[in-house]
Amino acid sequence: MNNNSFKKYSLNLHGRLVEIDQPWVMGIINATPDSFFSGSRTMDAEGIAERAKAMVVEGADVLDIGACSTRPGAEVVTPEEEIKRLDVAVKAIREAVGNDVILSVDTFRADVARHCVEELGVDIVNDISGGDLDPEMNSVVAQLQVPYIVMHMRGTPATMQQFTDYDGDVAAIVLEELARKIDILHQMGVNDVIADPGFGFAKTVEQNYRMLACLETFHSLEVPLLVGVSRKSMIQKVLNCTAQDALNGTTVINTIAMMKGAHILRVHDVKAAVEARALVALTSKMTNN
C-alpha cells in the first residue's frame, strides 16, 4: 500500500459516516453446511458467536455473513431457509460482539437483503451477482440506502464456469461491465457502491491473475475496491494444494492486492490478513518518508 494507490473513502452506515482510511479486513462467517472451505462452516448459534468473537479480537473491521452457499454445485436453499439461518446468525453475533461491529450480508436476494437491513440492522449488502440474479435488488438497495457491494459474475454459481470466454482483455471487460452497473446504481440513488471484480467467478485461473496484475485500473471506477481470493481454486490450482493448505497463497495475493490499493480484503483468516496489512503499511510508510 503506497500513498499514491490507496484512496480514502467514506461509507454511510445507517447515518454513521465511517472512513476507510486503511484496508479493511472482512471476516467470512458462513451459516451453511456446505461452503467450499470446511473451516468456515458454522451452523449453530454458539459456533457462530465464537467465530465472530475470535475475528473481532483478531482485528476484523467487518463481518460478512452468508447463509446460502454459492460454491459451484452447491444446493441453493429457499429464501425462507436463508432468512431463518441469518436470523440465528445475526442475533448470535450481536449478542457476542455488540452492535458497533459492521455487519455485511452476503445474499443475491432482494427480499433477504431487505429483511436483514430492516429487521436485523445489517449495515452492508454484498451481492455476488451484482443484481443479475434478482431484478429487484437495485431498487431495494436504493430504498434501503445502505452500501452495496456489486460483484462481477456471469451466469449463476452452477453455470458460471461456462462463461469464461471474454472477447478481449478480461480486466478491461470486467471493468467496463462493473462501470455500467455502478452508473445505473448511482442514477437510481445508491450513494455508496463497492466494486468486487469477482475473482474465481466466471474466470479461468489465467484470467484471475490477469485481473490481479491490472488491479490498479479498477480504481478508475472511483469507488472502494474489494478483493476476495481467500483459499480459492485460483490458488489451489497453481500451488497444487487444497483449500485447507491455501492460506499462505491467500496471504501473498492479499499483500499484492493491498500494494495495488485494495480497500477491503474478504478472508476466512482474519489474523493473517491483519498481520499482512501491518507489514504493508509499515513498508509504505518507510517508502514515503
pLDDT in tens, 178-229: 999 999 999 999 999 999 999 999 999 999 999 999 999 999 999 999 999 9
**What is the reported pTM?**
0.93
- Give the active site residue among 114, 181, 203, 232: 232
Count of domains in the chain? 1
Give residue 2's pLDDT. 44
Residue 180 lies in a domain: yes
pLDDT at 4 over 80: no
- Structural domain for 166, as ranges: 20-288
**Mean pLDDT computed over 102-119:** 98
Is residue 232 among the annotated active site residues?
Answer: yes
Helix (H, G, I), strand (E, B) or coil at 151: strand
Q: What pLDDT band is residue 1 in, cutting at 50, 70 and 90?
A: very low
Residue 6 lies in a domain: no
Residue 14 lies in a domain: no
Give residue 156's pLDDT. 74
- Give the active site residue among 114, 154, 181, 266: 266
CATH number at residue 26: 3.20.20.20
Cβ 152 vs Cβ 197: under 8 Å: yes
8-55 pLDDT per residue, tens: 999 999 999 999 999 999 999 998 875 544 554 566 899 999 999 999
Residue 234 lies in a domain: yes
Residue 204 lies in a domain: yes
Residue 5 lies in a domain: no
Residue 9 lies in a domain: no
**Mean pLDDT computed over 250-269:** 97
Residue 12 lies in a domain: no
Cβ 53 vs Cβ 88: under 8 Å: no
Is residue 231 among the annotated active site residues?
Answer: no
Which pairs count as long-range contacts for 268-276, CB under 8 Å and 24+ apart, including other chains?
268/27, 268/28, 268/37, 268/39, 268/40, 268/230, 268/231, 269/230, 270/25, 270/27, 270/54, 270/55, 270/58, 270/59, 270/60, 271/58, 271/59, 272/247, 273/25, 274/25, 274/58, 274/59, 274/60, 276/251
